[in-house]
Structure 1
């Protein structure tokens, strides 16, 4: 198949065509020509879209699909199609299923289910058996089967020695260990950020200290083991400072932040809308500003949607009873593009995460594989139910004005448009 992309502004700092408007000819999944103007032929698949921009394919490092076990939330087929139409050529899927992905057969099952789709799927396998935090899972066998990292999704490892051993053991095969930043003893039964808003609303608070203590512990263990650690979805100003200092020491630590923590604060809780109940909880405006600065300064390495579909039976409840989580694939770009520069977003969702997980980032150059995201950075709209492609509809961005919309992707010799 031959595809001709017309008049696309290329956003790719590693490409000689960065910030230039070009035509791109793709033949059998390979970029054949990049020129000012290429004449289309009758058998070409021609893509001509309003204010079209393209970049290297976006990579979301924290996605949950539910399957196996929670297909009512989302299955892999619809999840990957949603990711493609939301601009993501690659997703890393959390061990947030039933049974938990904690063995090589479960990892291989995910690859089998994802075979043939335009969006690539890579498993983040559980760090412990059943994500129970008691015994380490079969990390090496799962990495041989294709797992790209190991972490218990939204479940902190309370056992200090277990985390120490995991950091030591993973060094034998260059494995990447995740540690969720929450101390459950401090967090207790809290459901919202501890502060002025939780007090006014009568909601049990989760102190920011619960995140800081866990991160500090993990950084001490990391320094002791000389291992490699990733801290997903940090949410506070102090967390940025702790990781900044650790990087200055030369520790191999990286971190991510979710789109909703970069753009929303706990001021949203006044309507008691359970779509804003997430883990970690939404923090203060001061924290939001610090997280944005953390992206711009390079302290924070990755932006993720932290896409977590929850079915209506478990989400449309009283705030205190609802499950944590928001979907985020469809709204990720439009939300972030409202608060960050385009180049900052692209770097933190393409180059940096792919380098961290050992995946190749295909620059937009002739003779390279075509792994491309297509988008319009200027389109403004109100995000509504009509924009949701996921099976579950639990979006924290419903009725918000967003700026920028993904058209889709070209990857694995397939063009998928929204």
Structure 2
């Protein structure tokens, strides 16, 4: 792949070209020249777009795909195409298909079916066999097969001794353990945030306490084991405080937040739209503001779309019976742009790679071209025409978003979004 990107503003804090407008020459998938003006003497393809900005390729630490088993929700092929058109060059895929990815053969299947794609797929292996929180899965074998972390997607590890053993064992090979923060006995049959809105609407509540108790327990276990823990998709102000204190102690902990929890609150539930039924649930304005503050002070390490395609049969039903989840890849950039300035947005969308053991290619001559192209300006209303996913269960319909993704350049391929 040979091409020239013309007059692009580079946003890459690790590059000497950060915040400069340059031409970028890519030959055989490698950045060979960055200069104010590059002559196209070899008649290469050129990319020249309005207000073009370029950053390192974006990474999402939590997406779900239906394949294998739930292809009606999403296939690997279309899921990765959706990621590419949304600006992502790497995604970590949760082990919640059927069968659950809890063996090296399952990890190999995911890697094999994603081979040759413009987007790199990094499997997360299940922490426990069939994600039933009884026995540890084949962690070391899955690590050798290509798993970048281990966790049971949206399922809590109820047995504290099991998590203790997992942290101790995974530490032998620098494995990253994920623990979904939810105390099931406190959650009960809850489906939305517990508070005035749940009471008024007659919906069973999930108290913030359910998340915070679990995080407090996990942080005690982490302090005891000296392991390596990632807490995905936190949602409350108290959770932020607990993790902030743990980091101050020097514990090896990281965390993420789902973008919809940054943008929305449980006030959305007024319409009983099941697209707003997510886990963890949409919380209060106080929680939302605390999460945003934690993005800027570094307590929260990364954001995720927590992209979770759900078919119509399991989503367009009574609120109590609907499955949890929203798609989010297509709206991730535009939503973040309404919350953060562009520099912070790009910092968040490129964060997390090191934590998950993924190589970083900065925008420097001699580096592999791993780029996202975008325009940070301009607003639009998110509608079904912006959806690339097979499933269309988006919580962002009707929301005003900012900025346009032009596409990606990665793995010797150029994928256009428009």
- Give TM class, smaller chain: over 0.9
Return the alpha-carbon distance in structure 2 between the equivalents of residues 303 and 41 of structure 1: 41
42-51 or 21-30: which moved more? 42-51
1:43 deviation in Å?
3.5
Report the 3-state secondary structure (helix = DSSP H, G, I; strand = E; otherwise coil) of the residue aligned with 1:318: coil
**Is the Cα–Cα contact under 8 Å of residues 295 and 344 in structure 1 kept in the other structure?**
no
Q: Deviations over 1:36-64 (max 9, x none)?
A: 11123564111111111110010000000
Superposition deviation, residue 345 in structure 1: 2.1
After the TM superposition, which parts of structure 1 deviate over 6 Å for at least 4 consecutive aligned residues?
none
Q: Which residue of 2 aligns with 1:255?
A: 255
Check if 1:369 corresponds to 2:368. yes
- Secondary structure of the residue aligned to 2:61 is strand
Work out the CA distance in 2 between the residues paired with 1:142 and 1:379. 43
Secondary structure at 2:352 match in 1: helix
- Could you tell me the TM-score, scaled by structure 2's length? 0.99
Where does 1:319-358 land on structure 2 (aligned, <5 Å)? 319-350=319-350, 352-358=351-357
3-state secondary structure, aligned to 2:388: coil
Q: Aligned to 2:330, what secondary structure does the other structure show?
A: coil
- Please state if 1:75 is matched with 2:75: yes
Residues in 2 aligned to 1:238 and 1:43: alpha-carbon distance in whole angstroms: 57
Secondary structure of 1:92 counterpart: strand
Cα offset, 1:393, TM superposition: 0.1
Q: Structure 2: how far apart are the matches of 1:22 and 1:392?
A: 39
Distance across 1 between alignment mates of 2:60 and 2:126: 18
The equivalent residue for 2:274 is 274
Q: Distance in 1 between matches of 2:84 and 2:232?
A: 23
Deviation at 1:199, TM superposition (A): 1.1
Report what 1:401 is aligned to: 400
Paired residues of 1:125 and 1:147 also in contact (CA < 8 A): yes
Any idea what SS the aligned residue of 2:329 has?
coil
Residue 156 of structure 1 corresponds to which residue in structure 2? 156
Cα distance in structure 2, aligned partners of 1:254 and 1:382: 33
For 2:9, the equivalent position in structure 1 comes to 9
More divergent stretch after superposition (356-365 vs 165-174):
356-365
- Counterpart of 1:115? 115
Structure 2 partner of 1:234? 234
Tell me the residue number matched to 2:304: 304
Partner of 1:414: 413
**Cα shift readout 1:294-328 (whole Å, capped 9, x = no counterpart):** 00000000111000000000001111111000000
How far off is 1:348 after superposition? 2.2
Gaps of 5+ in 2: none
| Distance in 2 (alpha carbons) for counterparts of 1:41 and 1:88 | 31
Partners of 1:341 and 1:151 in 2: CA distance: 32
Q: Bigger shift: 356-365 or 144-153? A: 356-365
Normalised by the length of structure 1, the TM-score is 0.99
- Alignment check: 8 A CA contact 1:235 1:291 kept: yes
Q: Cα offset for 1:200?
A: 1.2
C-alpha distance in 2 between matches for 1:35 and 1:148: 36
How big is the shift at 1:216? 0.3
Alignment of 1:173-184 (within 5 A): 173-184=173-184
